Homo-oligomer: A and B are copies of this chain.
Amino acid sequence: MDHLELIRQLKTSAATKIILLVMDGLGGLPLTPDGRTELEAAKKPHLDALARVSDLGLSTPIFPGITPGSGPGHMGLFGYDPLDWQIGRGVLEALGIGFDLTRMDVAARGNFCSVDPATGAITDRRAGRISTETCAKLVNMLRGITLSGVEVFVEPVEDYRFVLVLRGEHLEDGLTETDPQKVGVPPLPVEPTRPEAEKTAALFNEWLSQARRILADQRPANGANLRGLAKVPDLPHFPELYGLRSGAIATYPMYRGVARLAGMDVLATGHDIASEVETLRRHWNEYDFFFFHVKKTDSAGEDGNFEAKVHVIEELDGYLPEILALKPDVLLVTGDHSTPAKWKNHSWHALPVLLFSPYVRPVPQATYGERACAAGSLGQVRHVDLMPLAMAHAGRLVKFGA
């Protein structure tokens, strides 16, 4: 039986509240073999005190050695197998700028490029990395394109990147990219990889053809490519699946977008942890489940800034008493993936997990860190195991079988 089907069968209601606190890219590495990780090095008295009354464990996002993007990392945390529920690049790009995608949409990431006017061959795949301002100006010109029977949205992103969304009945994905990934050849047409997508491919090609006419006299951006053409995945509806009124608190559009795809209510919040905590407090009575996302641990890790990552963890720690004062029945603290400052990128390393509830087997003198978690009483799990564990600790799953 499918993992999600089991959850559907066993879920029950209870007057309990769960917080899933995700510090993006939380997992780290020591800079030297005898050193401490970012989480271990952080002065975080409240998290460490919580660790002494919680289960600790390690969670692998997908399987050992596999580094997840933000999409797959969150799919796993929400209990959806990341290999079964893939989010296309066009969809993530649209979510990243806060575009409110619907299930009727096909989204593509667009790249302005330079082409040889005589032959049509690409001469620069990024159009000399034009400014975001130029990008916005070009996008405005492209907004004049209309297609029969569908709505068309074009939005600037950054530099040479934009988002194109077609919205209409019966649009299908299963579409190839136009970027040949090299210069000296013209862009490829969008081709359907299955017969149902033929009409959609024709619409994208018609858009490209009009776009090239409009851009013909521009320099250097006189062409455009489309990549990662995709529909939103038909995700199981998180609140129905788990029977949880679910609210999402995140400062970055992409994470709000992923939560919205899963069917959570996205709650308005400011740009820092203080605002997020205030949002949590304000909506506390309305929801059973909160996805609470802290972005800057990941950004600091990507920058290779060990100290900055330590500081974000310490900042979050300062707000922990306010969060605990709300008396959540279950508080899960983890990350979507590791972003060690030493690696300067997402990595494959397993995530430290802290699971606070009354029904745990705490280890005295534990602290919240990767190595304490590796020896913790929760053992090793996968991201898709975390929601079932949270549900169980919240008294929201009945037993399987008699």
Choose among B29, B350, B361 the residue that contacts A30 (Cβ–Cβ < 8 A). Answer: B361
A residues 326-363 touching B (CB-CB < 8 Å): 340, 342-343, 345-350, 358-363
Q: Can you spell out 10 A-B residue pairs with CB atoms less than 8 angstroms apart?
A: A33-B360, A64-B385, A64-B389, A66-B388, A72-B400, A93-B402, A342-B358, A343-B359, A346-B399, A374-B378
When C-beta atoms are compared, the residue in chain B nearest to A28 turns out to be B361
Q: Is A46 an interface residue (CB 8 A)?
A: no
Number of chain copies forming the complex: 2
Q: Is A8 an interface residue (CB 8 A)?
A: no
* Nearest CB in chain B: distance from A395 CB, A: 9
Q: With A70-B402, A380-B380 in contact, is A63–B3 under 8 Å at CB?
A: yes
When C-beta atoms are compared, the residue in chain B nearest to A370 turns out to be B361
When C-beta atoms are compared, the residue in chain B nearest to A68 turns out to be B400
A interface, over-half SS: loop
A residues 1-46 touching B (CB-CB < 8 Å): 1, 3, 6, 10, 29-30, 33-34, 37
* Nearest CB in chain B: distance from A353 CB, A: 11
Q: Is A132 an interface residue (CB 8 A)?
A: no
Q: Is A87 an interface residue (CB 8 A)?
A: yes
Choose among B92, B359, B378 the residue that contacts A29 (Cβ–Cβ < 8 A). Answer: B359
Q: Is A247 an interface residue (CB 8 A)?
A: no
**Interchain CB contact under 8 A, A66 and B374:** no
Contact with B along A166-201 (1 / 0, CB 8 A): 000000000000000000000000000000000000
**Interchain CB contact under 8 A, A392 and B362:** no
| A250 contacts across to B, CB distance below 8 A | none
Q: Please measure, in the bound complex, the distance between the C-alpha atom of A50 and the C-alpha atom of B205, giving whole angstroms.
A: 58
| A370 contacts across to B, CB distance below 8 A | 361, 377
**Interchain CB contact under 8 A, B374 and A361:** yes
Q: Is A110 an interface residue (CB 8 A)?
A: no
**Interchain CB contact under 8 A, A400 and B82:** yes
Q: Is A381 an interface residue (CB 8 A)?
A: yes
Q: With A29-B360, A379-B350 in contact, is A401–B34 under 8 Å at CB?
A: no
**Interchain CB contact under 8 A, A69 and B400:** yes
| A122 contacts across to B, CB distance below 8 A | none
Q: Please measure, in the bound complex, the distance between the C-alpha atom of A364 and the C-alpha atom of B68, giving whole angstroms.
A: 29
* Nearest CB in chain B: distance from A207 CB, A: 22
Q: Please measure, in the bound complex, the distance between the C-alpha atom of A361 and the C-alpha atom of B350, giving whole angstroms.
A: 11
Q: Is A86 an interface residue (CB 8 A)?
A: yes
A residues 52-111 touching B (CB-CB < 8 Å): 52-53, 58, 62-72, 82-83, 86-87, 89, 92-93
| A63 contacts across to B, CB distance below 8 A | 3, 385, 388
When C-beta atoms are compared, the residue in chain B nearest to A358 turns out to be B342
Q: With A53-B33, A374-B361 in contact, is A1–B397 under 8 Å at CB?
A: no
Q: Please measure, in the bound complex, the distance between the C-alpha atom of A228 and the C-alpha atom of B402, giving whole angstroms.
A: 10
Q: Is A223 an interface residue (CB 8 A)?
A: no
**Interchain CB contact under 8 A, B69 and A392:** no
Kindly list 18 other residue pairs between chains A and B, CB separation below 8 angstroms, not including A6-B66, A348-B392, A350-B379. Answer: A29-B359, A63-B388, A65-B385, A65-B389, A65-B390, A66-B388, A66-B397, A69-B400, A71-B402, A82-B400, A87-B402, A89-B402, A228-B402, A370-B377, A371-B377, A375-B375, A379-B379, A380-B380
When C-beta atoms are compared, the residue in chain B nearest to A376 turns out to be B374
| A378 contacts across to B, CB distance below 8 A | 374
Q: Please measure, in the bound complex, the distance between the C-alpha atom of A377 and the C-alpha atom of B93, giving whole angstroms.
A: 35
When C-beta atoms are compared, the residue in chain B nearest to A96 turns out to be B402
Q: Please measure, in the bound complex, the distance between the C-alpha atom of A17 and the C-alpha atom of B380, giving whole angstroms.
A: 29
When C-beta atoms are compared, the residue in chain B nearest to A390 turns out to be B65
**Interchain CB contact under 8 A, A400 and B65:** no
Q: With A350-B379, A361-B29, A374-B375 in contact, is A67–B342 under 8 Å at CB?
A: no
